[in-house]
Chains A and B, each alone.
Chain A
């Protein structure tokens, strides 16, 4: 893992107390994202990890304004993205892009690969005719495909190849920031490493910033500079990858980490597994106080009364827990 120098870099995107609630009929409100705060520095990769349904995709989508936030704000490059006018919004879409989770649903089956990759350029009127084709060929080669693929249709490609097409599409408008929404979860393990390597190379060459979403800590460790652990719409712990692995403080992070097998039978045998009891509660009418209380073995009275704030307990190490001192 390459150690990047991140101190002193400025934040490219800041998320302040972001909330996204969905109305789900009969006056019920689903709190998919419920007060999330973090920031990402230029050139950094922030891993966002949590179990299925905890609101990772919703956070990512609200950050690029695919969803209107219910509350809170997202500041990109000093601009509040909720307050952009039409022209500014269009300009914003050139700078912030997304790579999607499902390589089979994220490419329009009726468009050629060339038109899929060229769509961004068409929308923004960036390049036309020969220049456009040249850029499409260039992008195809950058992501490890070749120019003959431009005239083909998505169904002719494998999952890994489709994900590369999705990456080329995101790159076509030369963005600064990309939300990678579980880009490797649907792929075979051998292909996962290739796609992660590609994303890392691209980051190095183009100075990209990533929000890298995954549901499994082992997937983000390699690529992330810092990792945020999410549970039921809230961030539980946020720190550098190394510290998160070596000294996790939040009981939930500890449980997640102990679920990852260690490739050493000696260590693996002597390890104390922390088993999480019960299922993730529903984000419809979540409990008062700490979101994790129902599955936490250290739970105290205060956890049921008051939601813990995300505090900086050590430099660069944020935890939302009443128990951690």
Chain B
């Protein structure tokens, strides 16, 4: 191994310029993820369903001539017809408007809770993981304690303090939910900050701000987005469960959960009153799940071919 010079190495069968050429087109992470998501038919169908449901939840109540609060006592428990597409309930309220208004409230709760979880979780988990050591230890024990209290307890406690309502439910579900995101982000940061590319940035003189914004966040954002996608249906379902057991949104405001609850009471007489809210909530849950799975496949670079 005494004399090693460049001219002793020849790349056989290829021009040297060719050897350095790369065949695959250069795509950014996001373009590449979108390409993969598009090729996943189920995920695209789920995404389309979610968009349609969201649009219906926003616009259907606006363009309907009925109001979701006021009923016509002469027209109770009507079957679906051209006048009342989903029929009416026992107070004579139009169910079509109520279902979409309920969807609107449920989606609102799901999205707001997911965003609150995201903001608190990313900040808390990010700081905990970045500082590390005993600070990290202390911060995570606090999360463990919070996490060990079920959200039902939070709802009951907060309802006694704040009264029942949308606000209470959002706060309760967020308190119970952000810990999961914090743990996830903390784990990611703890792992990434030991990566050699973070060391390289430090060696080049990068400060904490730069390391966080240029290196840590871009490399965790995929996992975070996936997690948010799954947090939305979880919150919707938790709210539905609370409404179902009577701890949810107070009347006359509907949510998909309270509508289903009303529907079950009339199940034997008027089954359609359960069918429509149940269909929407199932479609929302299933679509979020399938879309989330698709996103995970698209955003997770470990699955890159």
Contact = CB atoms under 8 A, between A and B. Distances in A.
Interface residues of B, number: 32
A214 B200 CA distance: 19
Interface stretch (B2-10, B61-69, B92-100, B246-254): B2-10
B20 A123 contact: no
B219 interface: yes
B14 to A, nearest CB: 13
A300 interface: no
Interface stretch (A13-21, A38-46, A155-163): A155-163
Contacts of A108: 197, 201, 214-215, 218-219
Query: Which of A61, A161, A190, A193 counts the most chain B CB atoms within 10 A?
Result: A193
A320 interface: no
Contacts of B9: 190, 193-194
B83 interface: no
Contact of A100 (B28, B29, B200): B200
A96 B203 CA distance: 8
A197 to B, nearest CB: 6
Nearest to A102: B196
B204 A119 contact: yes
A90 interface: yes
Interface string B28-42: 110000000000000
A119 B196 contact: no
A157 B20 CA distance: 9
A311 interface: no
A173 B206 CA distance: 13
Interface string B69-81: 0000000000000
B197 A106 contact: yes
B20 A146 contact: yes
B203 A64 contact: yes
A218 B1 CA distance: 9
Nearest to B4: A193
Contacts of B5: 197
Nearest to A157: B22
A235 B185 CA distance: 40
A119 B206 contact: yes
Contact of B205 (A94, A100, A190, A194): A94
Interface string B196-225: 110111111110001000110011000000
A1 interface: yes
B263 to A, nearest CB: 48
A101 B205 contact: no
A314 to B, nearest CB: 24
Given A146-B20, A151-B26, A190-B9, A109 B205 contact: no
A196 B200 CA distance: 20
Contacts of A24: none
Contact of B20 (A102, A110, A161): A161
Contact of B304 (A144, A151, A155, A196): A155
Given A123-B210, A197-B4, A169 B205 contact: no
Interface in A129-164: 144-146, 149, 151-153, 155-157, 161
Contacts of A322: none
Contacts of A317: none
A100 B196 contact: yes
A105 B22 contact: no
Nearest to A100: B196
B271 to A, nearest CB: 52
A243 to B, nearest CB: 17
Contact of B1 (A89, A111, A221): A221
B301 interface: yes
A194 B6 CA distance: 7
Contacts of A89: 205
Contacts of B20: 144-146, 149, 161
Contacts of A109: 29, 219, 301
Nearest to B6: A197
A146 B27 CA distance: 18
A120 B204 CA distance: 5
Given A105-B195, A106-B197, A193-B9, A66 B29 contact: no
A109 B222 CA distance: 13
8 closest Cβ pairs, A-B complex: A93-B205, A106-B196, A110-B218, A120-B204, A100-B196, A108-B197, A105-B196, A152-B26
Interface of A: 1, 61, 64, 66, 89-90, 93-94, 96-98, 100-102, 105-111, 119-120, 123-124, 144-146, 149, 151-153, 155-157, 161, 166, 169, 173, 190, 193-194, 196-197, 218, 221-222
